[in-house]
Amino acid sequence: MSITENNMHDILDVRSLIERIEELEAEREQLQDHVDACEDAYNYHDSEDTQSTPEWKDLETARAELLEWDNGPDNLERVGLMTIMEDLRGYGGDEQWRGDWYPITLIRESYFVEYVADLVSDIGDLPRELPSYIEIDWHRTAGNVRADYSCINIDGVDYWYR
């Protein structure tokens, strides 16, 4: 299943997107290498009836497999992931890939309030033992924190990053 296929992740890790892009690129590269090897074998073969040789049939099969991959869901997924990476490229962050820096964490809009509550607690800005009569408006706090974040829309869902 595609990383963004169900688009229901609370957090997307850009490193996972990069890993998936590289897996898909490696798959395509293997298919291209197979086509190249079949072309070499076909070109090496010396026969008058070249289209009935096993080398010709292997080459046609390899080309068909590559064409099927290029027109199939794996390539569509790769293109979609590359589009996301292009949208994020150059906005800083802690992950370097192919000469540019990317934010590592993308937080789904519907999870952002919970994310901020966890963040504030984790970094120690909130005392541990608050009396029960004190309430924190996490929605307003998230709105205040959101000012430091940018947004990317992935298939109709907003994700926040910085």
- Convert the pLDDT of each residue in 16-30 to its tens digit: 999 999 999 999 999
Q: Report residue 71 as tokens.
A: 């027109």
Q: What band does 1 get if pLDDT is binned at 50, 70 and 90?
A: very low
Report the sign of the C-alpha dihedral through residues 10, 159, 91, 140, in that order.
negative
| End-to-end CA gap in the chain | 27
pLDDT recorded at residue 44 = 80
CA distance 4 to 39: 36
> Does the pLDDT value for residue 86 go beyond 60?
yes
Judge contact between 111 and 47, C-beta under 8 A.
no
Distance CA 157, CA 85 (A): 16
CA distance 142 to 123: 15
Kindly report the average pLDDT of the chain as a whole number: 91
Q: Tokens for 46? A: 């010396």
Tell me if 144 sits within 8 A of 91, measured CB to CB: no
pTM of the model: 0.85
